[in-house]
Structure 1
């Protein structure tokens, strides 16, 4: 192979460095970014010749942009590895942009950095391998064998300077001739820049790095005034609240919310279930939504940096006297469970639900909860808050999030290359994962209903939703302002044992009244503390669902 490369290289006529850089720039601009052009033309809403002129202008400007970049950074000594690096990064990012409609944002970079190897491997497929060979390996191979003339420094500087002046002039002229369309696009739809590979990786990566470059800050205590109002529960059993944080479940796929397919056969039979039909998330990715919902900050005021070094909901409940336990079956708690008890799932339970799978089935949470409750000493009368973090409907391997017993919708998409599946099969796979979640949640409620040591309560809400091909989008993580409802409209429901309802009938009635109201993760912090009879100045009445009625 090396001999063939060498023979081909000797037959090729050497080209100038400027021409070499222009070839790389043209490939980056024109071969990798067809989704960018598609979306840009959609937003421009032009037809006929006007559309063609605008498309040509976009391609020219982007090519010249990369050419100027290459002329500044690419020299005789580093030209090949600069080109290979850009081709590698651009080719890899372009696959996800073009095949799944994913925008490369700082949040997506954060998701990538916080993911584990199993989650990353789920994104790989034979389609990705084909793309990688054709759009990454082959271009890099061409770059390696392409001979480039060697110029002395002064002539090279002259050529670079002259070509940059010409490129700037041409780009400026193209923008001037299409100024209204360019201005409208990049002012009204700035997000399209996140579709331009590999520029999106570098710009978003830089934004993410700036966050990391901040010096670690000391932990800020929050809610120091928190106290458990024991007078409210005198002569009553202690409370046990189980909070289930779902993963990638969207409200529109729950039959409880009107979906045509019966994805909630078991929850539909649960007496006393309070289903909130208009709940929304704080973010479109776990790395944002989970810290946000536990922070005490509403979405519009959420400060990620502050949340990362300030106590949150679990710390406050713990300070008030609750035993806090986190049971994990996803990719981590994103820092919110760092200062509370983390239940170690026993090996025998893992063996049952985790073997031969990329992640454990959520049945591992159900049995871990049962095991944890069994281990609480009879003399331990502390109130309990248990958080279960699901794998839920985590994509793209939806077909692995359920079992044959809970996969009524067939045929399915049994690959991680979900963009290549028939839409009906993909939806079946996703819906089956919701059916399994329905089963697990109903069984958790069943465990709580049979517990006679505590007043028991249950709250479920997903961290965010999911796109399954609507408008060419897949997975999640879109910028919130642009995210479709599939990524932000989440399922949320509560249940309370008869004993809890008898002790707090006004609270339950108040919550029932809000089933069709706009609620969501912003309400978790104040409402959960209120349900737990925790008093603190950190509770915002306007977000506390228990404060929305005359006699909560």
Structure 2
């Protein structure tokens, strides 16, 4: 039993040691896998990182406690709870809490976040967060005179700087692995990266940069349907040679073409932005739907997802908008996006129409809840949000069923377009990013692109064209940025930003 009256230095060192012990197994697992821990240099690096972590956390805790006892206790309890949640996701899904992952977290919504709920998560929060929090709240910590505070802070800073410079020979290794190390160090991973996320967000253009005006070249009635997939990886599409028949319908439809493609990111917000922007600039330029609507094209956006850049169009339709006119079990799934779509296209008074369907079909971890029961082609399936608890077969079966359902939705889009005989029509299906299904003990997506496995960035790029409308170039590897220019070409728009090299059509 620990005593209730404790010196501040002893208390913060104890809290720092607990933080090191409870929350840094993934951090040191990574270090041990990437250094020669049997060599003297390796031992020195590991010991230095441990001591630095211990002193840095104690330094932060000491500073907050001295400035305000109440705020210090509140922040420390909050830190343990957030650490517990972060480590749960690191251990369960092998994620790294870097800036892009923070963006995923801050851009999620209730339905997505609630899908991660599990008993194991509650256990993590109680054991690693709430129980230490109770001790923190109940412990009486002695006050510290200002002089002693300044001496302790100064000596701590001096010690950390000395440790940093004493490890100068390891700087190159630390710099090379800084994203991963920073994403696994608690509480620095989320506290620093939340700050970076908002700093970078504030630096972005508050208002999108308008592109130069476009002109419609002809009066041919043309409609393009762009389907943005969610977490669809190409290697699980039988069109791409996958051994299981996940594309029973598309494989039988004439004029369906597929191309190798890669995503520009491994998370939704950046992936969707890449699909909709004319090139990768890092700035917020006018995205495809906004640009076309401003230039007299009918634009319809339907979504069961989120994370897109700001969409400024009249016909923005989400699940709540579509639900009153939808009938049948498909209304609970991505089929809702097809509700009355053909009639809405036919009713348009404009000759040029772009429809964007932003789906959520293959988003984990609840793959088995993303499709109606009749599409459960492959069995048994994983029904747990803790993907590591499922067998490899169950997990892949559940994911493959989402691809079978995607195949059905795309075939229905094509069937609708075929019935609009007065239009030249086309469909492009491209995913925002791929998905890991346990390969290398990784799950889902979101790793930095520089270290992500191919499963997280090799994506399908599937195209259908109506009879007599367009032919395709012998494209090889495509990118998400091919979408913008291909849509402009198909709909017959002339624009100063158009790049013929990025157009897939002849």
Q: Normalised by the size of structure 1, how large is the TM-score?
A: 0.84
Superposition pairs of residues 69-108 of structure 1, within 5 angstroms:
69-75=60-66, 77-78=69-70, 79-108=72-101
Residue 211 of structure 1 corresponds to 200
1:416 & 1:372 partners in 2: Cα distance? 38
Deviations 1:173-200 (CA, angstroms, capped at 9, x unpaired): 65566543x3233211121211212101
Deviations 1:258-311 (CA, angstroms, capped at 9, x unpaired): 2222211221112121100x201122111112122212123xxx31xx31xx42
Residue 444 of structure 2 corresponds to 475
Deviations 1:426-476 (CA, angstroms, capped at 9, x unpaired): 111111111111111122112222321211111110111112222232221
1:316 & 1:474 partners in 2: Cα distance? 36
Contact 1:34 1:98 in 2 (8 A): no
Residue 67 of structure 1 corresponds to 58
Residue 6 of structure 2 corresponds to 15
Residue 269 of structure 1 corresponds to 252
Residue 185 of structure 1 corresponds to 173
Superposition pairs of residues 166-205 of structure 1, within 5 angstroms:
167-168=156-157, 171=160, 175=164, 179-180=168-169, 182-192=170-180, 193-205=182-194
Residue 485 of structure 1 corresponds to 454
2:37 & 2:433 partners in 1: Cα distance? 35
2:61 & 2:227 partners in 1: Cα distance? 50
Contact 1:295 1:311 in 2 (8 A): yes
Deviations 1:106-134 (CA, angstroms, capped at 9, x unpaired): 22222222221111111221111111111
- Of 303, 306, 330, which residue of structure 2 is paired with 1:353? 330
Tell me, what secondary structure is at the counterpart of 1:120? helix
2:327 & 2:43 partners in 1: Cα distance? 58
2:167 & 2:203 partners in 1: Cα distance? 40
Contact 1:33 1:98 in 2 (8 A): no
Contact 1:40 1:185 in 2 (8 A): no
2:13 & 2:438 partners in 1: Cα distance? 35
Offset at 1:422?
2.2
Establish whether residue 530 from structure 1 lines up as the match of residue 489 from structure 2: yes
Contact 1:94 1:198 in 2 (8 A): no
Which stretch has the larger CA shift, 56-65 or 133-142? 56-65
1:117 & 1:167 partners in 2: Cα distance? 42
2:157 & 2:291 partners in 1: Cα distance? 57
Superposition pairs of residues 286-297 of structure 1, within 5 angstroms:
286-297=268-279
Gaps of 5+ in 2: none
Which stretch has the larger CA shift, 79-88 or 18-27? 79-88
Establish whether residue 137 from structure 1 lines up as the match of residue 130 from structure 2: yes
Contact 1:64 1:168 in 2 (8 A): no
Residue 396 of structure 2 corresponds to 427
Contact 1:396 1:417 in 2 (8 A): yes
Tell me, what secondary structure is at the counterpart of 2:232? coil
2:442 & 2:18 partners in 1: Cα distance? 25
1:176 & 1:221 partners in 2: Cα distance? 48
Tell me, what secondary structure is at the counterpart of 1:241? strand
Tell me, what secondary structure is at the counterpart of 2:5? coil
Contact 1:93 1:198 in 2 (8 A): no
Offset at 1:57?
2.7
- Of 119, 125, 130, which residue of structure 2 is paired with 1:126? 119
Residue 362 of structure 1 corresponds to 334
- Of 361, 367, 373, which residue of structure 2 is paired with 1:398? 367
Residue 352 of structure 2 corresponds to 383
Offset at 1:479?
1.5
Q: Residues 191 and 350 of structure 1: is their aligned pair in 2 closer, same or farther, counting only changes over 3 Å?
A: farther
Gaps of 5+ in 1: 1-7, 355-359, 547-551
Tell me, what secondary structure is at the counterpart of 2:141? coil
Deviations 1:520-551 (CA, angstroms, capped at 9, x unpaired): 202111122112111111112332334xxxxx
Residue 479 of structure 2 corresponds to 520
Offset at 1:340?
4.1
Offset at 1:223?
2.6
Tell me, what secondary structure is at the counterpart of 1:545? coil
Superposition pairs of residues 39-50 of structure 1, within 5 angstroms:
39-47=30-38
2:362 & 2:486 partners in 1: Cα distance? 26
2:461 & 2:304 partners in 1: Cα distance? 19
How many residues end up aligned between the 2 structures? 500
Q: Residues 446 and 43 of structure 1: is their aligned pair in 2 closer, same or farther, counting only changes over 3 Å?
A: same
Deviations 1:109-161 (CA, angstroms, capped at 9, x unpaired): 2222222111111122111111111111111112122232344x24xx32x44
Tell me, what secondary structure is at the counterpart of 1:457? strand
Offset at 1:320?
4.1
Q: Residues 94 and 338 of structure 1: is their aligned pair in 2 closer, same or farther, counting only changes over 3 Å?
A: same
Residue 146 of structure 1 corresponds to 139
Tell me, what secondary structure is at the counterpart of 2:502? coil
RMSD value, Cα: 2.4
Contact 1:273 1:495 in 2 (8 A): yes
Offset at 1:367?
3.0
Contact 1:223 1:316 in 2 (8 A): no
- Of 292, 315, 320, which residue of structure 2 is paired with 1:341? 315
Offset at 1:36?
1.3
Contact 2:429 2:461 in 1 (8 A): yes
Residue 357 of structure 1 corresponds to none
Residue 289 of structure 2 corresponds to 314
